[in-house]
């Protein structure tokens, strides 16, 4: 089923989704930190995209624009639901554990997930765009609607919260 009448040579939304849906599902999942919320956010974002597809398809990089729509949808949803969400009261323990065994990886992943959940929306989006998509500060700034300096500030604070190791920071800095 075509979402729009394709103009000569123009990419339809169907074509776009065939190529990009997999990456978008990964992106929205990393942003939301919850599969069902990610599906809700991405489908909402696609609704907005579908309504403007003719204009979006003419852009140089439609995928970047769609990711920006996903980010704004995620941030908007987060603002709306923040007051209603239950915040865990327990302190998340540190990641330093001597002598990792078979369960250590699972425990560590849960703890990383807990640390990610503590990040404000803008910081989480900056981390996802930087580490999952290798975006530059300038591109992240465009997606978040802020300055590159603010992006660097978001990343600095997010890394501190996540206790990223020096080597992990060096990968990207």
Q: What residue ranges bind another protein (CB under 8 A)?
A: 17, 21-22, 24-26, 28-30, 32-35, 38-40, 42-44, 46-47, 50, 80, 83-84, 86, 95, 108-109, 112-113, 115-116, 127-128, 131-132, 162-165, 167-168, 171
Closest to another protein by CB, 36 or 60: 36
Q: How far is the CB of 118 from another protein (least distance, A)?
A: 12
Contact 127, 158 (CB under 8 A): yes
Q: SS3 of 79, please? A: helix
Q: How far is the CB of 152 from another protein (least distance, A)?
A: 18
Q: How far is the CB of 65 from another protein (least distance, A)?
A: 17
Closest to another protein by CB, 103 or 167: 167
Q: 1: which residues sit within 8 A by CB, 6+ positions away?
A: 14
Closest to another protein by CB, 37 or 146: 37
Rounded to whole angstroms, how far apart are CA atoms 95 and 108? 7
* Separation of CA 125 from chain center: 5
Other beta carbons within 10 angstroms of residue 51's beta carbon come to 11
Closest to another protein by CB, 35 or 54: 35
Other beta carbons within 10 angstroms of residue 33's beta carbon come to 14
* Separation of CA 108 from chain center: 21
Token duo for residue 170 = 């060096």
Q: How far is the CB of 58 from another protein (least distance, A)?
A: 22
Q: How far is the CB of 8 from another protein (least distance, A)?
A: 25
Closest to another protein by CB, 11 or 112: 112
């Amino acid at each position: 089923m075509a979402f729009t009448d394709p103009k000569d040579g123009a990419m339809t939304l169907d074509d776009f989704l065939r190529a990009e849906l997999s990456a978008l599902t990964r992106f929205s999942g990393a942003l939301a930190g919850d599969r069902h919320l990610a599906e809700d956010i991405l489908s909402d974002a696609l609704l907005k995209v579908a309504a403007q597809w003719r204009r979006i398809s003419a852009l140089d990089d439609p995928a970047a624009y769609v990711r920006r729509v996903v980010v704004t949808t995620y941030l908007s949803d987060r603002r709306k639901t923040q007051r209603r969400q239950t915040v865990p009261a327990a302190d998340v323990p540190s990641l330093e554990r001597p002598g990792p065994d078979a369960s250590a990886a699972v425990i560590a992943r849960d703890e990383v997930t807990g640390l990610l959940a503590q990040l404000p929306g803008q910081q989480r989006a900056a981390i996802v765009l930087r580490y999952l998509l290798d975006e530059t500060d300038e591109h992240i700034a465009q997606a978040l609607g802020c300055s590159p300096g603010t992006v660097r500030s978001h990343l600095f604070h997010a890394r501190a919260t996540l206790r990223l190791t020096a080597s992990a920071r060096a990968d990207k800095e």
